[in-house]
Structure 1
Amino acid sequence: MTGNEQQIDTRLEQAIRDLLERRSPSATICPSEAARRVYQGDDDGWRSLMEPARRAARRLAEAGQVEIVQGGRPVGPAEARGPIRIRRVRRPPR
């Protein structure tokens, strides 16, 4: 992995955390929102960051920082196929 790829990965992870922080605790985001935030152009080049954004979400999920959701239900990072949403980890009530 190149230094630029690592920098983009770090920025995508931070963008996911920042976007979720600005939303209600139960809100979800799409990986495209992080890709658009990190992309530095004004065209649709952000699309090239979609798979890196999904990988960033998987890393954060594996670290226990976010959940990947499909159909309103959390799925494991390796199970997610097709469109996903990302949300804060929901802790069960005590």
Structure 2
Amino acid sequence: MSDPIETAIFEKLSTREPGKSICPSEVAKDLQPEQWQRMMPKVRTVALGLMRQGRLTITKKGKAVDPESFKGVIRLRLPTEQETAEAQARRPVSAPDDADLV
């Protein structure tokens, strides 16, 4: 089952032109209109996970941020092909399963 925050992020981005970004608060307000501020840390956490997977880019002042050291006001957009490749290169290579060794 898909994460509702992840779904909301990609639904919101699908309404924008390619290369355009959204504010995380837009997602939080869609999910919890009355208490959207409480959703903000969760939205940011999901966005960070998606960025680490290469499925989302977090930007600040129009430039992609380092997923390990950003803070403050951010925006979310779909990644470029180069950003996706860079994110995949940063991901650690998983160890082979025991079944792979047999």
Give the 3-state SS of the residue equivalent to 2:27 in structure 1: helix
Deviating 4+ runs (over 4 angstroms): none
- 1:76 and 1:10 map into 2 onto residues whose CA distance is 24
Query: Tell me, which stretches of 5 or more residues in structure 1 are unaligned?
Result: 1-6
- 1:73 and 1:14 map into 2 onto residues whose CA distance is 24
Task: Please report the TM-score for the alignment, with normalisation by the length of structure 1.
Answer: 0.79
Name the counterpart of 1:31: 24
Query: Tell me, which stretches of 5 or more residues in structure 2 are unaligned?
Result: 83-102
Name the counterpart of 2:90: none
* 1:4-47 residue CA offsets vs partner (Å, 9 max, x unmatched): xxx9x9111111111111110111001111111111xx53x111
Name the counterpart of 2:70: 80
Contact 1:31-1:86 within 8 A present in 2 as well: yes
Task: Name the structure with the higher strand share.
Answer: 1
Larger Rg: 2
Task: Please report the TM-score for the alignment, with normalisation by the length of structure 2.
Answer: 0.73
Identity of aligned residues (%): 32
Aligned CA RMSD, in angstroms, stands at 1.7
